Amino acid sequence: MKRQTGPNRNQSPAEEPFSYRASPGGRRVLCCGSFPLSELAKKFGTPLYVYSAAALRERSWVLDSAFAGVPHTLCYSVKANPNLSILRLIYGLKCGFDIVSGGELERVLRVSRRAAARVVFSGVGKTAAEMDAALRAGILMFNVESESELALLAERAARLKRRARVALRVNPHVAANTHPYISTGLRRHKFGVPMTEARRLYRWAAAQPFLLPAGVSVHIGSQITEVAPFSAALRRVIALVRELREEGLRLTYVDCGGGLGINYGGQRLPPFPRYAERYAQGLVRALGPTPVHLLLEPGRVLLGPAGALLTRVLYRKTNGPKRFVVTDAAMNDLLRPSLYGAHHRIVPVEGGGRSLETVDVVGPICETGDFFARDRRLPQVKEGELLAIMDAGAYGMSLASNYNSRLRAAEVMVDGARAKLIRRRETMRDLLRQEI
């Protein structure tokens, strides 16, 4: 599929990744770039994830530019969306990667073996095999989350005779105003080590021949739209860095984690350049005069608004006062509303004047929790029409499953004049292949 090439980096700020445009028949149709989503649905079917490469590049450049005044590396959070085509695009932007499993490491290495030098390995449950793979690949740093993990890493590094750069992920006990499932910075959470334990563990690590304490890591949660919690956490981390440097540790990196949120609907956030600048200023002020190399782990904030899930209305039904719109997408395709009660904007692909109604938008899965919206005021749609579930680029396909033996969706990347299939739709043969 071909279209006129879209804006490049040297032009004005990128247009919205999804916008309504007039079609030849006079209708207004939601498009990704210049591609009508109805055309993509016709060619690739539904449910279908559609991503804008231009939006992903633009948001990466904006965030990178906001931190231009300090040494830094953007390490894309692979768990947000691990598609290989997306990782290749990210690698081409000179970004690094934040991984949390051996599988994610393998995906990054499939993009380029050289990418390992920009990989930080986070997560509370790294196995010996995963450590060995990361040591052999030569990753930038391990973000260690417990004393036991540190001891195992020392053992694996010694066995392989590969020196491992380490940062302890410290728990700063900073509350983040977000969903409890994605808040990670309090003492009751499983993540990180207490600040009071960090000094002792750094001293122990410094005495190990194959461990090199290289930084400090912190991550307080996800979908945080206020700067103050990030600043508060970083101030505590910088105080620790100064103390450790006074003891002779040559710490180079501070990994600030990710977690910067997006506007799913209802939040009043400024335009992204101003939002990114405000975030950067908050961290730089907390950093003060301490010279370090910042590592940042954006995921959702880069890719979330760049993606949408297309779904077709199967049925309309009424149960007493309740109205339901039943779609061919389900919670196995986009879990966030069921898991977090998350809000995603839902819009008809074909625009125009429509009356509003209050409906539940639900999927076909045999669970009451299979929904995308409840009691939502939406434009009235008919059976057979297309809906777009917006801001679904991150934690959409990456959380997808085969529940109810449903086949996972296809994924398409719109990049200038091309709409490229980057993951084919699963088949029943794919689903049954591993079973005996």
Task: List for the chain the helix, strand, coil content (%; round to 5).
Answer: 35, 25, 40
Residue 326 parent element (H or E)? strand 322-327
Q: Are 300 and 80 in contact (CB under 8 A)?
A: yes
DSSP 8-state code for residue 16: P
Chain centroid, CA 426 distance in Å: 23
Tell whether omega for the bond before 209 is within 30 degrees of 0, i.e. cis: no
Catalytic residue among 32, 95, 256, 366: 366
Q: SS3 of 283, please?
A: helix
How far is it, in rounded angstroms, from Cα 434 to Cα 161? 36
> Could you give the CA distance from residue 183 to residue 177 in angstroms, rounded to a whole number?
8
- Measuring CA to CA, how many Å separate 240 from each of 7, 151, 235, 385? 44, 21, 9, 56
What whole-number distance in Å separates Cα of residue 4 and Cα of residue 285? 43
Beta pairing, strands 386-389 & 346-348: antiparallel
Q: Annotate 51-91 with three-state secondary structure.
A: EEHHHHHHHHHHHHHHCCCCCEEEEEEHHHCCCHHHHHHHH
Is 95 one of the catalytic residues? no
Cα–Cα distance for residue pair 208/213, rounded to 1 Å: 10
Tokens found for residue 392: 């679904």
Using CA atoms, how far residue 346 sits from 309, 325, 328, in Å, is 10, 12, 14
C-alpha 169/C-alpha 220 separation (Å) is: 10
β-bridge partners, 377: 358
Q: Pick from 415, 422, 392: which is nearest to 308 by CA?
A: 392
Long-range CB pairs of 152-161 (<8 Å, 24+ gap) are 152/126, 152/128, 153/126, 153/211, 154/205, 154/208, 154/210, 154/211, 156/128, 156/131, 156/132, 157/131, 157/208, 157/210, 157/211, 158/208, 158/209, 158/210, 160/132, 160/135, 160/136, 161/210
Residues classed as catalytic: 366
